[in-house]
Amino acid sequence: MEAAADQAIAACGGGARETVKALLVANGFLENEIAELRATVSKGYSRGRHFAQRDRKE
């Protein structure tokens, strides 16, 4: 984990704030991907195991 954190910080120019912003953008992208995949997976295949995304506080 430490090495991954160091790599992420280095990739963002060494700034912790910029790194956090980049990670938030990446997380939002992944959440959108999950929502799209949930919408395309049939209920029969998933047997109701996926639920609607809960409301998040910003």
Question: What per-residue confidence (pLDDT) applies to 40?
Answer: 83
Does 53 map to a domain? no
Range of the domain at 22: 2-42
pLDDT at 39: 83
Under 8 Å between Cβ of 22 and 15: no
Read off the pLDDT of residues 1-58 as tens digits, 9 standing for 90 and up: 999 999 999 999 999 999 999 999 999 999 999 988 888 877 666 666 666 555 555 5
Q: How many domains does the chain have?
A: 1
Q: Does residue 51 sit within a domain?
A: no
The sign of the torsion formed by the CA atoms of 29, 47, 57, 2 equals: negative
pLDDT of residue 41: 79
Q: Report yes or no on 55 lying in a domain.
A: no
